[in-house]
Chain A
Amino acid sequence: MLDYIPFIIILMLVAAFVNSDSVMTIFYMIIGIIILGLWWNRHAVKRIKVTRKLDDHAFLRQPSELTLEIKNTSLLPVIWLEIHESLPLNVRNTAIQNYVISLPPKGKQKLTYPLFPQKRGFYKIGPTSIASGDLMGIAHSAEIYFEPDDLTVYPHIVPLENLGLPSRSPFGSIRHKDPIFEDPSRIYGKRDYQVGDSLKRIDWKSSAAVGKLQVKKFEPSITMETLLILDLDIASFDIQKLYDHSELAITCAASVAYWCNARKMPVGLITNGLDPLNNNALPNQLVAQRGEGHVMLILEVLARVIAGKTTPLSAILSGAMARSSWGTTLLIITPQYSPSLLDQMLQAKSQGLNVVLMLIGFSPIISQVRSECHHYGFTFYNIQQLIDIEMAQGTKK
């Protein structure tokens, strides 16, 4: 319609100078419609508020829903509103549905999108773009973008049997139920007094409060901590199998962390993977702790990390060795075995650490690695492919 503006203006100038009522009325109509159209076009979209509701954390292959609430805060109706939500391919199993809705003054509408996370990761849900325009098609439709939200999809967790690991004591020795050495500074609970309990263990305040004798329970002074060392340095991987092997490594780490938590064992994580939440820097090192919250923290880091050019394994391993206490199990998950790694493992063993090596993917020197580990007393596992896990699950079912 704007193509006709010069024509209209010339016509109306002539009409104005001949002082004609009718012509001026038409002129006002045309200009009025153009002005109102442009104004509507610009203001209708500005007063739209979009609220995105979704669970920001999801488990793999667990269906959920994303709800968009679109609200018109203006007193003007929005006759048409195009809504386009950007969803990553890995969190949906259907094509994205775009909508065109109409909102009355102060009206709102909810739109739902099914989510089906198919791969662990850190995703951006959105941005949502909305576009609207005037009724006459006077100007191009105005478009506004709404900031995306984050969605973390936890990694795949499988039972250790499916990884080919023994389910009872995969890391050699396991913590005894009645530890000999107890740390009196780390009280983890109380129980009723039993005959034979030392008088030193009695908690007098609690006993007075409860009305019967209570004794303190102490944590063992040597806890069987497990520290997962996950190597995601791109240089360690066969570039052709980078995706498969890195995912397999992360699945292994997540499964072990989950297993440890189920057995109330403290577990920690140190990885050289890149964290997209932290501008692709190294994620924080998570020292060994127990508890659901801590494991969820580990799983969250494992959900986000990706392989990339980063600090080599040797560097993070040295750091981990320096801050691990005696008796800690170091589970090294890496796709590459090297003599320098063996040296570090020996050094760790000499520090009193229990070293377990989990080699990811196929390697031509597996038998050699196996015999070397056996020779030096390290527990060794080789996890070949992600498909093995799936097959194992299928067999089990």
Chain B
Amino acid sequence: MNDFKDAAKAVITKNRFIAANVILICLLTSTVGLAFQQVIAVFSDDWHGAYYPFMAFVIALLSLLSRRANRHLPPFSGERIIRIIFEWVLILLSLKILVYLLNDPSRFLTDVWLWDDNFFKYFFPPDYIVAVVGALLFSLIASWLGEPIDQLEEDKELMDQEKLGFTVNDRTKARKQLIALIFGLGSLQLFITTLLISDIPSLPIKDFSETRLITALVLYFVLGFLLIALNQYNLQKARWYLSDYLVSPAIGQRWLIFCILLVVLISLLAIFLPTNYILGIFPAIKYLFNLLVYVYNFLVSLIFLPFLALIKLFGNSPSETPQLPESTQESPTPPQPLAPDLMPTSMPILDVIKSLLFWSVFILLIFFALRYYFRQRGELLGFLKKVTIAKWLTQFWQWVKRGFRKVTDFTTRTVKNGISALNERFSRKKPGLTLTDVVRSLSPRAGVIMSYRKFREWLGINKIPVREAQTPAEVARQIISTYEIPAVMVDPICELFCEARYTKHKISRTHYQQINNFIEQLKLILIEGDQAK
């Protein structure tokens, strides 16, 4: 119990989350910086922008720290504006120095003399302007991401005010805003990446690294997911605080660890899944179909092979068989397996399998996503159900499913029977007696008693709780009163059992059959009664 009240641990976890959020935003901005650098490299071949990811990291960090420092100031207060201006002057100057240091430090002395002639032309050369635009962009991205993060951050003072009703903080909206930002930026990056790596002839591609672009994209999404997960914790934490839950401090740490594990695991899985295809979707379907036909033909030919051999044997004994005309001598030939000849001979089988796997995974994932989406949107599903085509499609789908199930059941049953037959054939053990065999081998009296006992067990499990102490007559009354069925349906069972169990009357096989018939009829009625209820 003390574990819940470990305030020091809770503070440490809170600080860790703040630090993790800041680092993640900086890294996210870095990946944008990497992509930005690659995009610029497309248009300029002598451009040196290797420092952009690092610059993006620093600018994002500065932006976030400045945001935290100015948080208590009003949005448009003089002090805040002055701070921002000073900060940016400092950033731009540092950037200028950095550009000089990285490109050609000796150019600085030449440029200083030229500033007198035309300051804007020589102070703002194109590479510096790009760096400034980049810096502004990175700062903006960090600021955008920082806003919902600030709102989601665990602030006990604010939450206490919320508890008292003095203020409202819509954290869910902030989280949605964060997701929208991450996905929006990610989509843009994805679009640009796709555009650059696809072979579009009109693009003035100079020099860029495809691997770096893809790495930046993948890293961006990995970091984005981590950020979303960490802020889900912040959201939950606020909800728990507002609802007066005692929260175990271990949660924060585990959340952090498992977020990283989860995202890394998914990323690894995503990397190893097939991501390209040689066969398109329709050729792949056609290929698959041909493969199925091939397998079918092969199986049929296996079945017909013995018959073919027999017919050939008959055909080889000229004394017994009458000579048939030439035209009628053709023996039935089994269908020949057709090889799937769709793919070019040069296409390796591994690539074909990869393509098939790719399309299967792709279609399955889309199907799953759509299904889940429609399930979540009940009203949309309701509307679609009213549309006639959708109804037909549903019926068709049900029909396909039924058919598939039948085929599966049949195949399973056949295979099971085959396996059991083979087992029996090759096993040295004698097959054990089933309960039915045991009952059949009993005397009619014992059979009647056993049938009734089985029926009681069935009742106890499925229908009515039957106690051991209840007499057959009591059980019968209980069935009659519960299901409101005529006594003639139940009493014969009770009477037959009592006769077999407690009298010395002769019990024949007919009695045994009678009790079984009555029991079966009663079971059907009880099951129908339950369904009607």
Interface residues of A (CB under 8 A from B): 1-9, 11-13, 15-16, 18-36, 38, 77, 79-80, 82, 95, 97-102, 104, 111-112, 135-137
Q: Which of A1, A2, A18, A28 contacts B275 (CB 8 A)?
A: A28
Beta-carbon contact of B225 and A29 below 8 Å: yes
A22 touches B4 (CB 8 A): no
Closest chain A CB from B421 CB (angstroms) = 39
Closest to A25 in B: B270
Contact residues of B between 246 and 278, Cβ < 8 Å to A? 246-248, 250-251, 254-255, 258-259, 262-263, 266-267, 269-271, 273, 275-277
The 8 closest A-B pairs by CB, nearest first: A28-B270, A24-B275, A22-B214, A137-B232, A32-B266, A21-B275, A100-B247, A29-B270
Q: Would you call B240 an interface residue if the criterion is a C-beta within 8 Å of the partner chain's C-beta atoms?
A: yes
What B residues does A112 contact at CB under 8 A?
1
- A26 to chain B: closest residue by CB: B221
List of B residues within 8 angstroms of A99 by Cβ: 4, 245-248
B445 within 8 A of A: no
Kindly list chain B residues whose C-beta atoms are within 8 Å of the C-beta of A28.
Answer: 266, 269-270, 273, 275, 361, 365
Of chain B, the residue at the smallest CB distance from A29 is B270
Contact A102 B179 (CB under 8 A): no
The A-contacting residues of B in range 164-217, CB under 8 angstroms, are 175-176, 179, 183, 186-187, 190, 193-194, 197-198, 213-214, 217
Q: In the complex, A31 Cα to B217 Cα: how many Å?
A: 16
Of the A-B pairs whose beta carbons lie under 8 Å apart in the complex, a sample of 24, sorted by A's number, is A2-B376, A3-B176, A11-B187, A15-B190, A18-B198, A22-B193, A22-B213, A23-B194, A24-B276, A29-B221, A29-B266, A33-B263, A34-B372, A36-B266, A77-B258, A97-B244, A98-B245, A100-B246, A101-B251, A135-B232, A135-B255, A136-B229, A137-B175, A137-B228
Q: How far is the CA of A100 from the CA of B183 in the complex (A)?
A: 31
Complex interface: chain A residues within 8 A of B43 (CB): none
Q: Which of B4, B176, B358, B373 contacts A5 (CB 8 A)?
A: B373
Chain B min CB distance to A222 (Å): 36
Residues of B within 8 A of A102 (CB): 248, 250-251, 254
Instruction: Assess A100 versus B258: contact at CB under 8 Å? Given A23-B190, A29-B221.
Output: no
Known A4-B179, A34-B372, A79-B258; further 11 A-B contacts with Cβ < 8 A: A19-B276, A20-B198, A28-B275, A29-B225, A35-B368, A36-B266, A99-B248, A100-B251, A135-B229, A135-B232, A136-B232
Q: How many of chain B's residues have a CB under 8 angstroms from any CB in A?
A: 61
Bound-state CA distance A101–B194 (Å) is 44
C-alpha gap A29/B182 in the complex (Å) = 14
Residues of B within 8 A of A135 (CB): 229, 232-233, 255, 258-259, 262
Segment 12-52 of B: residues with Cβ below 8 Å from A? none
Chain B residues near A111 (CB, 8 Å)?
1
Q: In the complex, which residue of chain A has the Cβ closest to the Cβ of B277?
A: A19
Question: Residue on B with the closest CB to A32?
Answer: B266
User: Smallest distance from the beta carbon of B202 to chain A beta carbons, Å?
Assistant: 16
Question: Which of B218, B247, B376 interacts with A25 by CB under 8 Å?
Answer: B218
With A and B bound together, what is the CA distance between A179 and B43 in angstroms?
Answer: 120
A residues near B369, Cβ cutoff 8 Å = 5, 8-9, 31, 34
Known: A25-B271, A102-B251. A33 touches B245 (CB 8 A): no
